[in-house]
Structure 1
Amino acid sequence: MSGTVTWGVLSTAKIGLEKVIPAMMRGEVAQVAAIASRDLNTARTAADQLGIAKAYGSYEELLADPDIDAIYNPLPNHLHVPWTLKALQAGKHVLCEKPIGMTADEAKALIAARDASGKRVAEAFMVRYHPQWLRAREIVGSGQLGEVRAIQTVFSYYNVDPNNVRNKPDIGGGGLLDIGCYAVATARYIFGGEPEKVVGLIENDPTFGTDRLASGIAAFSEGRRLTFTCSTQLVSYQRVQILGTKGRLEVEIPFNAPPGYGCSLTLDTGADHKGSGITRETVAECDQYTLQGDAFSRMILGDEPQEFGLEDAISNMRVLDALTRSAHSGHWEKP
């Protein structure tokens, strides 16, 4: 099947305006035709800035537009499930920003709505479409690293703005849902499986009440481990180390890969500590949001299978839930 998919965007969220929408508009099969806000003037301003044809003053009006095939949902976390449900009920496909919901139990409600509508739903983990992650998974699968047994991930930024959604606990703020989800998703992606148990340690901001520093261990089968730390109040930094019995692979900018920049993968045979066994590989320049928009659009058109669907998103959410339970119980928890 050929053609294009016509998209509408729920809200004028910053990630949409600055990153996702412009990237999708450069795609081959994704056409962004409408944007909605709770304020019509806000929607019109955004539409004019981005060159989007239609602006709506309510989300309901956008969902009622018969010309819209798919919805991109970048609303705050507590609105992911409610508005994805409404979009499905309106007969639209949905690409929802991560995390898919506040909890796995909440997100399960999407399964029946998806099945009833016959539409596709996916969580917007754009990193899975970046060639550096495709290449990383290829290297792991090739055996170059030997038996891959450990992944170490760090992801942090510094944000103490009380008005920022990431610092509001009642709407799903905090580091674990915002960026810890990447550590879990990419480990599941590389290991090709689900963790059997997890343990988490979380420190909350005394003013905001959100988790500002979270660390966790996820134990996969065959002795494999993910260890990670994420924080909303540390220096901006991100790195992933994938360690095997014969080599180490480092993903240098794993999550916020800059568009149009050739990201590097570092392969180290461990010959010595001076780095004589290190080689670097640069992957093709791209915008991972463009690739994500086109990939999901091609799934809608029937040109590509959907590798990561709603069930995958809920599985990721179960791990995050278990990490939170563990932080309270002080024990290992099963997802």
Structure 2
Amino acid sequence: MSDLRWGVLSTARIGTEKVIPGIQRSRRGRVTAIASRDLGRAEAAAADLKIDKAYGSYEELLADPDIDAVYNPLPNNLHVDLTLQAAAAGKAVLCEKPVAMTKADAERLRAVEGKVPVMEAFMVRFHPQWLWARDQVRAGRLGELRAIQAFFSYFNRDPANIRNAPETGGGALLDIGCYPMVAGRFFFEGEPQRVLALIERDPDFQVDRLTSALLDFGGGRRVDFTVSTQVVPYQRVQLIGTDGRLEIEIPFNAPQGEATRLFLDDGSDLRGGGIQVQDMEAVDQYAEQADVFAAAVLGEAPLPYGIKDAVQNMAILDALFRSDESGQWESVG
């Protein structure tokens, strides 16, 4: 098998605008089918994206023997159910983040662990800018990495948008707070021991619209971040060490197929005279993700992140929600 044949569940925008074009640009993947509960929407998306097959139900797509892997961008509350159905049909699954609504929900995926590849779709972990940044940390360019600071926001008060619906897993923490959390795990190459959170909710939607968090990784290492669904769009990640600082300019929504920049600062000049600019070549992080996943499914490389990793992400998110309720530090269980 030279290429991975993908089927896509739903016509969600993240799929049609980001992930499907990324898979189509990848070296090893091709999208052969797309499904929606509305056949007309599936056919329209298939025509727009030049996909051969359109199905009017998810079950029809999962029964297609010519599909090797499924991309699942359904609402958060459907992630586990449809991932389990796809796995039962023998399909590998790339599931959109967050993988579940809670850790207990994610634990249900243990039933298919080791049977088919299942990975949570944090595409940022495959962008060369994240890999280069981690290489600088490993090489000691920052000295000892002590703090990671992140901000991620956009503005959305659309009452029809699922990100504003608590029953489908809306809100800032689940939608975008998971990215700074993953950044901490990625760059510290460790796990937080305890977390603290402060959440402010929209009075109409009852989802968190402004969330700040502190994650203690032990040994004097910490992540602090703020995410919001109702402030001006902005995003940054700062890696701060004893000898230097590294800033990722567009850490999460890196433009597809465009160059990106990082800034390595030795701290010698507070006006920026000690900053070196690192230009990264244009890549599509969704294509990079698709190729890494394809290599794992085709048996050419190990799966870098599996169900255990996804369950751990949900454990941290659960602890953050508990901390807001208790007003105290909460351990990550």
Give the root-mean-square deviation of aligned CA atoms: 0.8
SS state at 2:31 partner: strand
Alignment of 1:290-301 (within 5 A): 290-301=287-298
Q: Deviations over 1:5-30 (max 9, x none)?
A: 11100000011011110110111111
For structure 2, which runs of at least 5 residues remain unmatched after alignment?
Answer: none
Q: Deviations over 1:77-98 (max 9, x none)?
A: 1010110011111111000000
Match of 1:106 in 2: 105
SS state at 2:301 partner: coil
Structure 1 residue ranges (4+ consecutive) displaced by more than 6 angstroms after TM superposition = none
Distance in 2, matches of 1:187 and 1:173, equals 22
Q: Deviations over 1:51-83 (max 9, x none)?
A: 000000000000111111110000011010110
Distance in 2, matches of 1:235 and 1:171, equals 24
1:58 aligns with 2:57: yes
Match of 1:201 in 2: 198
Match of 2:141 among 138, 141, 144: 144
Count of residue correspondences:
332
Distance in 2, matches of 1:113 and 1:52, equals 29
Match of 1:249 in 2: 246
1:324 aligns with 2:321: yes
SS state at 2:219 partner: helix
Q: CA deviation at 1:303?
A: 1.4
Match of 2:161 in 1: 164
Q: CA deviation at 1:313?
A: 1.1
One-letter code of the match for 1:320?
A: L
Q: CA deviation at 1:113?
A: 2.1
Percent of paired sites with the same residue? 58
Q: CA deviation at 1:272?
A: 2.0
SS state at 1:66 partner: coil
1:315 aligns with 2:312: yes
SS state at 2:42 partner: helix
Distance in 2, matches of 1:201 and 1:299, equals 38
Match of 1:10 in 2: 9
Match of 2:31 in 1: 32
Distance in 2, matches of 1:91 and 1:304, equals 19
8 A Cα contact 1:88 1:114, kept in partner = no
Q: Deviations over 1:187-243 (max 9, x none)?
A: 100000100000000000000000000000000021100000000001000000000
1:287 aligns with 2:280: no
Distance in 2, matches of 1:26 and 1:243, equals 34
Match of 2:80 in 1: 81
Please report the TM-score for the alignment, with normalisation by the length of structure 2.
0.99
Q: CA deviation at 1:310?
A: 1.2
